[in-house]
Structure 1
Amino acid sequence: MGFFSTVFGLFGFGIGIVFGLVCGYFIFIYWQSTEVKEPIIKPLGELDSESIQKLLPEIPLWVKNPDYDRVDWLNRFVGELWPYLNKAICKIIKETTKPMIDEYSAKYKIDSVEFECLTLGNLPPTLHGIKAYDTQESEIILEPVLKWAGNPNILVRVKAYGIQATVQLVDLQVSAIARVTLKPLVPIFPCFSKIVVSLMEKPHVDFGLKLVGGDLMAIPGLYGFVQDIIKDQVANLYLWPKYLEVPILDDSRMAIKKPVGMLKVTIVNCKNLRKADLMGKSDPYVKMSLGEGTLSKKTQKKMSTLNPEWNETHSLLVQDPSSQALELQVYDWEKVSSHDLLGVQMIQLSSLTPDDWQTHTLNLRKNMDDNDPSNQKPRGQITLNTLYTPFKDEEVIPEEEENEAPPEGTPVGGGCLIVFVHEAEDLEGKHHCNPYVKILYKGHEYKTKAIKKNRDPKWTDGRFEIMCPEAPENDRIKIEVWSKGSSMGLHRHEPLGYVDISLADVVSNKRLNQEYQLIDSRNGKVLVELQWLSG
């Protein structure tokens, strides 16, 4: 009998545990107080220090921190737009979550997961302040403080193993400080190519989760456990320095692409050119470019000859070797009238072998239309040599080769020095202040356009590409700021200051972006960015 009493006792204990858990679940779920009490409202001056301390986290940051700006106008704008944003965001949520749902449904053998209802409610999120950072880079950095106490209604029906359940998400509250970076800035609407978002601290997320009409979050311990999981998962994805990158513009639409290589072209000669002048021979020269919108180069003109010899070498920057082509145009120079076109030709860069000199002898044509019968007429030949050298990309160098030194005595290769003159500040002219920039390097001079009556100019044409036969590690570049007066005035050009920059750091670091104090100027500064692309 003692044995049976022990067995029945254990059996009764097990039933009691199960019964107790079931009863506890329904007690916590269904016996919650639904009575809503009116909050006690008091003037701020009547609150004690402890109550005020509890209210501090709810005070907008623009009240506590002068670095944050108040943006009520933006909140009103979002509020008016929210009914339409609500529908658009819900549509995006459905489209983006569908492939994820399909993947997990197949993995865990779930029959179906469907949204019965998806709405974010009628309460829009609010910004409690925005902080803007000053930066010398081509970017805009904003730090908004987002708070949202919404009333969404999200119903998800899940069916698996013959069982169907409906889960409802309600009373969502989110609080987060994000860093939004718009970069790089480009002259194409919306004037930035991508958005980069990071969270500056773990977000606060609170919500209610109901199953079959009861609140699952009322189960002891489950609420804190779920909150910690959500915070950790979001932090692992987007907590700074990790980020979410949203592309806005395609690379193909970018106004300025980063050069990927350099093309050296040696124009050797032309033979049997067409006679353009009635009373004599032609005065030919060759113009070369890599397509519309790119810089072109010209040879010297050769007077009175149909078989000119040049042996001139010119360099062009390559942005896309798969689609660009070397366009050659041979002209007859005229002193008064427009120059006559003697012939054209084209070489696709995709046909060139990198790091290898190639010789081309091509028949000149009237145009590049294969169906034009006039292209059958002889127009002479052009002979040239080409060398395409891709720039080295340090980011794709294998790890085991990263620290490998070149053999002793290896000559340093050439490349391209790119100079960006972005802006200047606090310029002071004695007679006028219409600033422009003059760049001096190895006897060559480059200029920006003058900006009228501006002590803090920003130049949009301050980008210059300088071809270098070797790395300029021992060279210096001079940046001069001048003011341009009227053509009839006594002081036509007035110096506003200059800076002399060593290029050693640019060659070693590949990039230098710095603000310099102008010499011979009391307060003037200039922001210069230098890039070195090695061949």
Structure 2
Amino acid sequence: MERPPGEDSSPSAMDQPSAHSDPPDQPPAAHTKPDRGSGGQPAGPGAAGEALAVLTSFGRRLLVLVPVYLAGAVGLSLGFVLVGLALYLGWRRVREEKERSLRVARQLLDDEERLTAKTLYMSHQELPAWVSFPDVEKAEWLNKIVAQVWPFLGQYMEKLLAETVAPAVRGSNTHLQTFTFTRVELGEKPLRIIGVKVHPGQRKEQILLDLNISYVGDVQIDVEVKKYFCKAGVKGMQLHGVLRVILEPLIGDLPIVGAVSMFFIRRPTLDINWTGMTNLLDIPGLSSLSDTMIMDSIAAFLVLPNRLLVPLVPNLQDVAQLRSPLPRGIIRIHLLAAQGLSSKDKYVKGLIEGKSDPYALVRLGTQTFCSRVIDEELNPQWRETYEVMVHEVPGQEIEVEVFDKDPDKDDFLGRMKLDVGKVLQAAVLDDWFPLQGGQGQVHLRLEWLSLLPDAEKLEQVLQWNQGVSSRPEPPSAAILVVYLDRAQDLPVIPKMVTSEFYPLQLKKGNKEPNPMVQLSIQDVTQESKAVYSTNCPVWEVAFRFFLQDPRSQELDVQVKDDSRALTLGALTLPLSRLLTAPELTLDQWFQLSSSGPNSRLYMKLVMRILYLDSSEICFPTVPGTPGAGDLDSESPQVGSSVDAPPRPCHTTPDSHFGTENVLRIHVLEAQDLIAKDRFLGGLVKGKSDPYVKLKLAGRSFRSHVVREDLNPRWNEVFEVIVTSIPGQELEVEVFDKDLDKDDFLGRCKVSLTTVLNSGFLDEWLTLEDVPSGRLHLRLERLTPRPTAAELEEVLQVNSLIQTQKSAELAAALLSVYLERAEDLPLRKGTKPPNPYATLTVGDTSHKTKTISQTSAPVWDKSASFLIRKPHAESLELQVRGEGTGALGSLALPLSELLTADQLCLDHWFTLNNGQGQVLLRAQLGILVSQHSGVEAHSHSYSHSSSSLSEEPEVWGAPPPITSSAPELRQRLTHVDSPLEVPAGPLGQVKLTVWYFSEERKLVSIVHSCRALRQSGRDPPDTYVSLLLLPDKNRGTKRKTSQKKRTLSPEFNERFEWDLPLDEALRRKLDVSVKSNSSFMSRERELLGKVHLDLAEIDLSQGAAQWYDLMDDKDKGSS
């Protein structure tokens, strides 16, 4: 808070240490901290006092030079001194700003009425709430009560910290056994309540109070760890916010109020003045980080949706509902667009004005969403949708802030705020909202979704959501609130645990667990806090989930020890059970699986359908955008006296298009590397922590670090798109990872031309520029083939040779040639745009050049992409104009290329906005490896044999298990032969099972199913579940993804179990093919099972095989 005009800016007389004035050259510190002698009294005015002041000043200046001297003594550069000086200056600036803020805030609170009377002309944001809002009343009587109680509250806090908190801290860590609170004082400045506002409440049984609190205190809390001579503390604090107090339920007996709930509606503002070692937290960067961490802790405890509940009567009903009530509703926020934003980008030192790169932050309470950035656009179109839970009406606000994205600090473009009560009243609010603090407007569509306990509305909601355009997430149809109450009779930790299911070896003797709970729905996981040393924990916490389709989703509950290595119990609950429950609610005990015989979990699950009441919809008048009326009044002039040349039907790329290859680089191992690590000043010789860096064709790759090993094994695979341009080399360097600068361990180079000509290279390469060391590389050329018949085998072999630490291997190469576009939309109806295009597959993008002022640009852009899953990926094309935003887009699923002739599409494509077309060529090539154990058996494509006389062994198999490439090709051909036995009545599943001895893992790949049984009207939603018997716990269970409505699903998913070979041979693999279609039943429909005895399978072969599915009664393998 700034000081009003006319107010003396100097500190009051109370703050002055003495009345005399100091000499001009006296340091400012002399005004606030007078020099004291050994007796603690100020130095006298005589000669002794003056001499002591001079010595003190000289000592301070000498102390400043000590770090400079030490830096020179140890040989540090001048940069360290400058960095230290910068940190000190930043720290001092932050400290002075905090002290000034505390001093001004205290003066305001000391004489609030006088200062308010002198500043009536100030804005409402700078006035107390009781002045700004007439329905907010002063509560001086309450402040007097707080002031009188404050010293006794300080005594209680001192007793609490000394007798409860300090012993808990000392027992938490052996290094903190000497932790003590040396000083606990709440100070003389009590918390003040600036204003009070009373709301009637949603129900008659509750009263709502909003308290505007402000605490500018001289609190001082000091702590010390005597063992390490470490002191820290807090001296002064500011806290400002609106605290909501809810008195409910009102009862007909004393004390009339059953319970009190308290929480902050919005995050309060916090400012802490640190002392001692915690002074470091005032360094710029650390200051904001520490304050944010503290505020996050407060928010997790006292900011909506979290609240503090204090029951006032015993045996209060519905305590869980009071502690975590259902949300009042859901607001679906459609962030559509903005217009008329200010331009923040400047060029040539501000002489040339650019535009802005706007993005928006949407907030409601603790829920925050960030939109994508629209480059160089003052009228951006976002069209994004967010869903937020509303817990309190009135009080919560929707806030939208617009920023300009910059490399350093983002520029503020404006904000708008809207009370959620207006959305509740309107049900649907579609309007342009002006931005405050800037210029322009933002277009929002706000929909209030009511929470209904009616399952009959679900089908209607799902049909409505199918027509809702929503990104980045699909619209939700329901919410689920899980009240996690407690658990009983969880298993204690065993005396010794050494099996693969408990990988951590625990201390001897039975031990009470520290249970925590993980709740998951699809890819959303939430965790509870751990309750220590008990097998009957009480959590009393709520979790909230958005549901897209509760008919097919399920809640997965895992009870684990705090280390997360031990599973104490599990539960899988299909959400379809809730749809048939009364009021869509289950409030009961649930028996845990993979746990003790009496282990169970008490939860209350409440589902609510998100329903938009169409009878309440209203659409406010939307203002037209500037220049919109000109669209009909003007149109571009067309026609010419000269006939235009005919439009080409196909692209004409140059001769080099589509000639790329893919180089697959296997970084296997190294030997005899030099040792770089030294300890004890070089007296003790260690080893090295090696890793590999590769550079080729403008791309760089880096392997993982192998700790303390001079003969490391990496087994990593990298892939890069290469051309046949001569002179290229693969540059490989080996380094030792260190904390400061990595040490060089050698380099080697391989000619790319040599690899492309031979097709394969497997060699030990001697490392150069070092005394010893060599590196084992395997390089393989993959040439794209235009035939889809080989794709299944490529995916299968890729899953076999896939290593754990490598990215997923590419199965195809996509080559794209974007030649031109035509009929792009004009700017403001008359001006041609400056178009460019972006081609994207996954996280890889290529951008064309920008063509000035034309609606028919010619780009001639070529791009290539590595494709890992051709059936699931797509090519995204975005056409944009500089200064005009999006001109059109196109999404081309690569599955369309798989059915095209020669896997190629070459023609005009219409953009999705209906305006404009692009001439594009997209061709796919399957990457068939001749040296990984697969060779195509397609009659439609002929390929010349490799120049090598011998083919190497299968890469990816463990060293003791050897198999030549022809043998594996023979097995694959035999398995997929059309002469094999036809599928049984229930269908078949294709599996690969083998043991990877190098990593001591049992590996299974689920490839696909075929000829499955259809029991209903629609094909099943199929997935495969694998269970490693005899254990039936979550640790051995694996499950594939779900494939919608198909009798021949393709999975190609790999699963691993960590266990020794002898243990694997004693196990049985239970494979179940299930359908998720029957949503009205708790159990998933079983389509068939396969029961494999691993002792009867040759785990060294790793061959794919079709297995007949059996009924659940038949346990024999096929």
- TM-score w.r.t. length of structure 1: 0.39
Calculate the TM-score normalised by the size of structure 2. 0.20
Higher relative contact order (CA 8 A, sep 6+): 1
